[in-house]
Amino acid sequence: MAQAAGIQISCAQFEPRIGEVERNVEASLKLIAEAADSGSRLIVLPELCNSGYVLESREEAYALSEDVATGSSIARWASLAAERGLYIVAGFLERDGIKLYNSAIVIGPDGVIGTYRKNHLWADEALYFERGDLGFPVFHTPFGRVGVLICYDGWFPEAWRILALQGADIVCVPTNWVPMAEQPAGMPAMANVLCMGAAHSNSMVVAACDRVGTERGQPFIGQSLIVDHNGWPVAGPASASEPGLVTAICDLSQARRKRNWNDFNQVMRDRRTDLYGEMLGTAVRPGWY
Amino acid sequence: MAQAAGIQISCAQFEPRIGEVERNVEASLKLIAEAADSGSRLIVLPELCNSGYVLESREEAYALSEDVATGSSIARWASLAAERGLYIVAGFLERDGIKLYNSAIVIGPDGVIGTYRKNHLWADEALYFERGDLGFPVFHTPFGRVGVLICYDGWFPEAWRILALQGADIVCVPTNWVPMAEQPAGMPAMANVLCMGAAHSNSMVVAACDRVGTERGQPFIGQSLIVDHNGWPVAGPASASEPGLVTAICDLSQARRKRNWNDFNQVMRDRRTDLYGEMLGTAVRPGWY
């Protein structure tokens, strides 16, 4: 028999303020508690949600950073996760020695499960952070396999596919989406479109948690959402401007089961790796881009 | 100065009938002429548009096939292309010796430019056709570089990316899209979502031409569209049931130019090939799918 149980998931969309780490973590804890009260066991928070996003210097970034072992934000999230039996995926500003990363921590009731470091840095992030050096890890939990991507990572179909090939049932996406050119009325935001397409063509659940508000002149677009393995939103898109929870129950076993389309087709097996290798692996023909 | 000129493109959505090659090509020629009258120079036709799609046996498929050198459908399309100075991308049932392929022919005013053979076969196509063996060719034309994908190929982000990495400005997609599970109201068809995401994350124009009608019990969903390099529809989606032209003027130079997002980011250059190689190239971890 199919596994009937699902897991209730919440994205906790809110507005971090640059530099106000204490206040930001406090705001996140309130939303996490609210989500837990409603029955959610997996809660996703935005990118860099303890520090804020629009940094002005490497030194400012360094001052706001924390390492996984001793960081106070992580300790506070871990404490609530232990108390309430939760899984939390939170974007934070990581320091490892002298290096900084735009990272996400994956926390369970028993503490830190792992870290993901953003592999594709966007714009001025290149001034503050190192590129991720931990690959595309998939974290094992009692409810299934969890992958993590952060914001601009989602523009790389390679990243979603690599998580799917490793068996991820769900991808959690802490993000700070910014407005895109020429967004037409009546269409989902392009960031939402990319989540939907990736969920569908890889048969994975996607839970993307954005921030809202304007920081040092940079607006963010909210519209957090949870997409099922068919690629359709089952919660959200949330408001473009207001904080709040986006919550859905998702059956992760269906994500894994429904990769089989019919007698002949299973999207992972149908990949023509005999044709992809040269182009996708390492070789990029110079000059075209 | 930026190149101001665009090329007018039409997708000629219509309803082929199984086995009625003469009639189907005639129907396509009428729409092509209509598109040319309106100023279009590049016209995309549906998948297997000369033969029809829902085959019942390998022998039926064989009887409907033609080879590139002597095929009458191709000769008729080429004749009109020469007469009107057109470029035509048409899905047809190709025979090469004893082997059959679900192919698309690319024709210009001077004759056949090249052939693409569908690399990812869908469902019962595996009973009639060989998998494509020509890779992902990019065809050079006076107006830019043209890639071709057919229907289920579009479910593979690898395929779009490989065309982009070879410098394709536009991808023409002859298709026979079928209804997908759980399509919600108010959302673009998932096939449209995949075209939009691929166009955006690769900065390519996409012109996808679907068929309409029901054949041997199999419905098709129409909704042909042309998507600009930002990922937004500039023409269509067309009707889900009626034939007709979908037409837009696209500046292919913008597709190539706008791959540069900002001072730091260009999506092709940002690819972490140092991390992708092992997973995307040839290795698929057995057992996960």
Kindly indicate the confidence band of residue A120, based on its pLDDT and cuts at 50, 70 and 90.
very high
3-state secondary structure B61-107: HHHHCECCCCCHHHHHHHHHHHHHCCEEEEEEEEEECCEEEEEEEEE
Q: What is the pLDDT of residue A282?
A: 46
Given a contact cutoff of 8 angstroms between Cβ atoms, the answer to whether A59 and A14 are in contact is no
Look up residue A250 and give its amino acid. C
Cα A286–A287–B3 angle (5° rounding)?
160
Given a contact cutoff of 8 angstroms between Cβ atoms, the answer to whether B213 and B54 are in contact is no
Q: What value does the mean pLDDT of chain A take? A: 93
Nearest CA of chain A to the CA of B56: how many Å? 16
Distance (Å, rounded) from C-alpha A80 to C-alpha A117? 23
Residue of chain B whose Cα is closest to the Cα of A181: B230
Nearest CA of chain B to the CA of A123: how many Å? 5
- Give the list of residues 6+ apart from residue A184 with CB closer than 8 angstroms, or none: B232, B233
- Asked if A155 and B201 come within 8 Å (Cβ–Cβ), the reply is yes
Nearest CA of chain B to the CA of A242: how many Å? 23
Q: Is the pLDDT of residue A283 over 70?
A: no
Least trusted range by pLDDT, from A225-229, A266-270, B30-34: A266-270
Q: Tell me what percent of the residues of chain A surpass a pLDDT of 90.
A: 82
What structural domains and CATH numbers belong to chain B? 7-280 (3.60.110.10)
- Asked if A263 and B123 come within 8 Å (Cβ–Cβ), the reply is yes
Enumerate the active-site residues of B.
Answer: 47, 118, 151
Nearest CA of chain A to the CA of B159: how many Å? 8
* Strand order, beta sheet including B225-227: B138-141, B144-148, B170-174, B205-209, B225-227, B233-235
Enumerate the active-site residues of A.
Answer: 47, 118, 151
Cα A67–A71–A73 angle (5° rounding)?
130
Residue of chain A whose Cα is closest to the Cα of B203: A289
- Asked if A158 and B161 come within 8 Å (Cβ–Cβ), the reply is yes
Q: Which of A158, A187, A274 sits opposite B280 (nearest CB)?
A: A158
Q: What is the pLDDT of residue A278?
A: 57
- Give the list of residues 6+ apart from residue B129 with CB closer than 8 angstroms, or none: B61, B100, B101, B102, B118, B121
Mean pLDDT value across residues A166-171: 94
Given a contact cutoff of 8 angstroms between Cβ atoms, the answer to whether B169 and B204 are in contact is yes
- Asked if B193 and A190 come within 8 Å (Cβ–Cβ), the reply is no
Least trusted range by pLDDT, from A12-26, A218-232, B153-167: B153-167
Q: What is the ipTM of this complex?
A: 0.94
Q: How many CB atoms lie within 10 A of CB B142?
A: 9
- Asked if A196 and B193 come within 8 Å (Cβ–Cβ), the reply is yes
Instruction: Show pLDDT as tens, one digit a residue, over chain B (289 residues).
Output: 344 469 999 999 999 999 999 999 999 999 999 999 999 999 999 999 999 999 999 999 999 999 999 999 999 999 999 999 999 999 999 999 999 999 999 999 999 999 999 999 999 999 999 999 999 999 999 999 999 999 999 999 999 999 998 899 999 999 999 998 788 888 999 999 999 999 999 999 999 999 999 999 999 999 999 999 999 999 999 999 999 999 999 999 999 888 888 888 988 888 887 777 655 654 444 444 4
Kindly indicate the confidence band of residue A271, based on its pLDDT and cuts at 50, 70 and 90.
confident
Q: What is the pLDDT of residue A274?
A: 79
Give A119's contacts in chain B (Cβ within 8 Å). 272, 275
- Stronger pLDDT, B269 or A88, i.e. the higher one: A88
Kindly indicate the confidence band of residue A277, based on its pLDDT and cuts at 50, 70 and 90.
low
- Stronger pLDDT, A281 or A142, i.e. the higher one: A142
Token pair for A273: 């790796």
Give B254's contacts in chain A (Cβ within 8 Å). none
Give A227's contacts in chain B (Cβ within 8 Å). none
Q: What is the pLDDT of residue B287?
A: 43
- Asked if B155 and A267 come within 8 Å (Cβ–Cβ), the reply is yes
Q: Is the pLDDT of residue A39 over 60?
A: yes
Given a contact cutoff of 8 angstroms between Cβ atoms, the answer to whether B202 and B267 are in contact is yes
Q: What is the pLDDT of residue A3?
A: 41
Token pair for B58: 């390998």
Given a contact cutoff of 8 angstroms between Cβ atoms, the answer to whether A219 and B216 are in contact is no
Q: Are strands A170-174 and B225-227 parallel, antiparallel or unpaired?
A: unpaired
